[in-house]
Amino acid sequence: MAKFEGKVIIITGAAGGIGKATAKKLAEQGAKLALVDLNLEAVQQAVSELGLSEANSIAIQANVAKEEDVKAYVKATVEKFGKIDGFFNNAGIEGITANVEDYPTETFELVLNVNVKGAFLGLKYVVPVMKKQGYGSIVNTSSGAGLIGSPGFVGYNSSKHAVIGMTKVVALEAAPFGVRVNAVAPGVINTRMMRQIEKNTVPEDAEGARKAFGAAVPMGRYGEAEEVANVAVFLLSDDASYVSQSIYTVDGGQINQ
């Protein structure tokens, strides 16, 4: 069923595991996609892998923490497709693993710059387009780390708590205009980011760290990017027409155990 036939969706962090998995599901359901990533070659490769054409996609290089880049990807999408039906505000980085006294200030600033400022700028420039249209759905990518404390992750956890705060505020601001804003909060997902977190956490035994992370999940395993994509696609769809200001955990039951 082509639930997204004719609909235009922007995805940031589109070359990453969750971004690309979401793009794949949306493309299969007829969406036109604006795929945004810092790595232009990687996002162009994603376009090729997904079998997208110039008629139904655009690959855009952008640093989501730079205001002019964000303005540019929103403008390019509207100029090509005429509207924005959905926005998967997904780009993010993990930073390093270190206790607060050892956490470099410049790394903390970098993580917040991408994860918080990047998400904020996306909202700042997409929401007005949707308000003018009188409809739209936004899904922000937070994390299970945005709901709990995780020793060693002061930068990442802080940034993902902020994304949840933005989701709640902007959902209330946008609701009178027919615009919905929700967030997904993935747990341990089998992506590049988790490979790096495993290495950062136990440099001498990343595989051991992976097993320990998986064992801590009630379902006993890592999630897959496609499982997060399923929830993001639902929230972007008309099936979620009365869902806003909600935070959907995709974590095998870990956060709320």
CA-based angle 8:244:173, to the nearest 5? Answer: 90
Q: What percent of the chain has pLDDT over 70?
A: 99
Strand, helix or coil for residue 183: strand
Length of the chain (residues)? 257
In-domain check, residue 136: yes
In-domain check, residue 65: yes
**pLDDT digits 0-9 by tens, 111-127:** 999 999 999 999 999 99
In-domain check, residue 196: no
- For residue 209, pLDDT beyond 90: no
Strand, helix or coil for residue 10: strand
- For residue 37, pLDDT beyond 90: yes
> Mean pLDDT in the chain?
95
In-domain check, residue 29: yes
In-domain check, residue 45: yes
- Write out the residue range of the structural domain in which residue 146 sits: 8-187+223-250
**pLDDT digits 0-9 by tens, 219-233:** 999 989 999 999 999
The two tokens of residue 83 are 């509207």
**pLDDT digits 0-9 by tens, 43-61:** 999 999 999 999 999 999 9
Alpha-carbon span 36 to 58, nearest angstrom: 8
| Lowest mean per-residue pLDDT among 93-107, 146-160, 169-183, 188-202 | 188-202
> Residue 122, Cβ neighbours under 10 Å: how many?
26
> Can you give the CATH number for the domain in which 167 is found?
3.40.50.720
Q: Which of 228, 234, 194, 226 is nearest to 211 (CA)?
A: 194
In-domain check, residue 139: yes
Alpha-carbon span 230 to 6, nearest angstrom: 19
- Which residues are identified as catalytic? 156
pLDDT reported for residue 1: 58
Strands 86-89 and 136-141: parallel
The two tokens of residue 206 are 């990343």
Domain total in the chain: 1
In-domain check, residue 2: no
pLDDT reported for residue 212: 82
In-domain check, residue 212: no
Q: What percent of the chain has pLDDT over 90?
A: 84
The two tokens of residue 199 are 């290495």
